[in-house]
Structure 1
Amino acid sequence: MNNAQELLEAQQRRFRRLDPALPAVYPLPRHGEPVLAHLDAGRTVAGVSAHAHQPPGTLPSLWSTADTYELFPLLGEHPRAGMDVLLRAFREQLATRAVPERDSACLVTWPSRDVSATRALLDHGFTPLTCLAVRTPTPEVDTKLSGTVKMRRAGPPDSDRVVELAMAELEYAALVGGSVLRPDAAGLKRSAVEVRLRTRSTPGSAKVPGGAPVWLAERNEIPVGLAECGWVDANNHHSGHRIGSGLWGYVNCLSVREEHRGTGIGRDLMTMAHNDFAAAGAVGSFLYYNPANPVSPVFWHRQGYRPLWTIWEIRPATALR
């Protein structure tokens, strides 16, 4: 099977057997360089590598290294052996490039259920830093928190409170995942939050507005929790090639003050968000979480989310072995 299209078609058949929730089309970059590798008996596997640069002062720089070198494998029916030889060829290709020693990463996004490829990724030094997880849009029953906790929709006057809670989540995520705590992080967060809070419209057409629901939990009028959510039209969004088509709810940030964790605040914030998603007719909701985070995987699984794609990384990119 030497043809890239044949490899792609065979790979998609494998993916459908592994996980029916995977999209029908495997995403390939519009611009990239081919990578070829040989298995035994004259068989080959292939891939496309793509370089992306996130300049200083951009929002994506908060969840990405400045330079990423991403591999999109086409392995056909050979996930373990194919991934192994393709990563070797990828390493050889990077050796001919001026890859930065700092603030860089190699990246492979692969179906979470395809554990056959996991051994090869681990052997080459990759770490599962992030998972894209999905949830079926079922309404939830509201549970009343004890005490004086109140939930409400945030507005423009709440920007300071929202930024404070969002920064607390970013600082924690930078310890356990792919986020990067840049010197200008607070300013970048503030700019994004203010846009979200100014736009209060809800999705009513295929074109999803830039606005998004942001929920606050308060105890004695003091903010203790945040659920910063959004709407994604999968046909017109960078995450759309990883999920199915249609309107999706997106959980961008859930943050609860450390001293209030374990009291049900995060659960009740997500109940409000999930009911909002279901009422809007979303086909599902998705989010990114860090497998190395000691609290979020268990929490999100209890909320009905399960991994769809795992984002494997090596930092710096020169550490690929």
Structure 2
Amino acid sequence: MATAQELMEAQFARFAALDPQLPHDQFVPSDAEPVAARTPEGYGVAGLVTHTSNPAGSARGLWQAGEAFELFPIVGEHPRSGLDALLGAWREWLAARDDPGSNSSAMVVWPSRDVQGTRALLDHGFLPLSVLAVRSPAPVADTELSGTVKVRRAGPADLDAVVELTLAELEYAALVGTATYRSDAAQLKRAAARVRLHSDDPVWLAEQDGTPVAVAECGWIDTGKSPRAYRLRPGSWAYVNCVSVHEKARGTGVGQQLMAVAHNEFVRRGVVGSFLYYNPPNPLSSVFWPRQGYRPLWTMWEVRPATALR
């Protein structure tokens, strides 16, 4: 029987062959509980389960369930049968614990190009609600729009406009993905925007006739310094936290012009790439982001509530 280390090495060798953009090292959570299973062919597989609570007032609760369980599979060279067996064992693991309630989720993050794993996840009731998508740095030709659309860096005086636009994006995202528009969303968004507008993280506004019609909240992250970036190759990255275009301005090219400014700044900064999260069920972002050069790297598969895992 293969050891956990051997399974991990085989799994990441397979990942590297599937997608050269995937990191070469396995992230192992320190505060996790083990789960083990065996495939019908007799191969042993394993996984690690983490549990995160997001109480009322938590910013993370805007995009994650109140009780979030995540499985980190270690299935070696057997993605379909290994995941199938492991997800069955995880279902039993969850059933043996207190019911986490309706505001809960079970999640697995798996390489987007691994369709063998995709089949197992679909069979167990998971939905591909979000993807981590990446883009190689490349300059973009400025796309000057007819009329008076201008893009500029936002500052502290733009707080109200930024909050209004990001809340509109959250409200829309809550219909098509993992986000939830909670009662304290406005306060949480305002607090986050205030910090961002006083930091080095760039926020751009697109204005039409002097009125803000779109926002792009971006930032910088170093994989060597941030635990958030373990699913990326080493280096300095730009990330796109939120892009929101006013409903009346959608389809006019404003979003493309806004991101052209952002992407050119990313090139000047010398990052190895940029990344973001979008929801595949979103009929706007699932079209817009591939056109801007982004492609899925990891897919976040979820079941809500957690007890709905098949």
Identify the TM-score tier after normalising by the shorter chain. over 0.9
Alignment of 1:153-302 (within 5 A): 153-199=153-199, 211-302=200-291
> Aligned letter for 1:219?
Q
CA-to-aligned-CA distance 1:48-77 (integer Å, 9 cap, x gap):
111111122121111100111110001111
Secondary structure of 1:169's match? helix
> Aligned letter for 2:208?
R
Aligned to 1:203: none
Aligned counterparts of 2:62 and 2:130: Cα–Cα separation in 1: 14
Alignment of 1:137-152 (within 5 A): 137-152=137-152
> Aligned letter for 2:145?
L
Gaps of 5+ in 2: none
Alignment of 1:109-120 (within 5 A): 109-120=109-120
Aligned to 1:204: none
| Residue 297 of structure 1: how far off its partner (Å) | 1.3
> Aligned letter for 1:222?
T
CA-to-aligned-CA distance 1:4-36 (integer Å, 9 cap, x gap):
111101001100000010001122211111111
Aligned counterparts of 2:296 and 2:42: Cα–Cα separation in 1: 35
Aligned counterparts of 1:169 and 1:196: Cα–Cα separation in 2: 17
| Residue 258 of structure 1: how far off its partner (Å) | 1.0
Aligned counterparts of 1:102 and 1:41: Cα–Cα separation in 2: 36
> Aligned letter for 1:147?
G
Aligned counterparts of 2:2 and 2:35: Cα–Cα separation in 1: 13
CA-to-aligned-CA distance 1:69-90 (integer Å, 9 cap, x gap):
1100011111111110100000
Aligned to 2:4: 4
| Residue 168 of structure 1: how far off its partner (Å) | 0.3
TM-score by length of 1: 0.95
Aligned counterparts of 2:41 and 2:215: Cα–Cα separation in 1: 56
16-25 or 233-242, larger mean C-alpha shift: 233-242
Aligned counterparts of 1:16 and 1:310: Cα–Cα separation in 2: 16
Aligned pairs, how many? 310
| Residue 235 of structure 1: how far off its partner (Å) | 1.7
CA-to-aligned-CA distance 1:89-133 (integer Å, 9 cap, x gap):
000111111132211000000000000011110111100000000
Secondary structure of 1:236's match? coil
| Residue 298 of structure 1: how far off its partner (Å) | 1.3
Give the superposed CA RMSD.
0.9
| Residue 41 of structure 1: how far off its partner (Å) | 4.3
Aligned to 1:62: 62
Secondary structure of 1:84's match? helix
Tell me if 1:133 matches 2:133. yes
275-284 or 38-47, larger mean C-alpha shift: 38-47
Aligned to 2:26: 26
Secondary structure of 1:235's match? coil
Secondary structure of 2:227's match? coil
Secondary structure of 1:35's match? strand
CA-to-aligned-CA distance 1:175-199 (integer Å, 9 cap, x gap):
0001111110110000010111112
Secondary structure of 1:106's match? strand
CA-to-aligned-CA distance 1:232-271 (integer Å, 9 cap, x gap):
1112223311101111101001100111111110001100
Aligned counterparts of 2:245 and 2:189: Cα–Cα separation in 1: 17
> Aligned letter for 1:84?
D
Aligned counterparts of 1:69 and 1:97: Cα–Cα separation in 2: 12
Aligned counterparts of 1:173 and 1:252: Cα–Cα separation in 2: 13
Aligned counterparts of 2:228 and 2:297: Cα–Cα separation in 1: 12
Aligned to 1:309: 298
Secondary structure of 2:224's match? helix
Aligned counterparts of 2:86 and 2:196: Cα–Cα separation in 1: 41
> Aligned letter for 2:9?
E
Aligned counterparts of 1:79 and 1:41: Cα–Cα separation in 2: 13
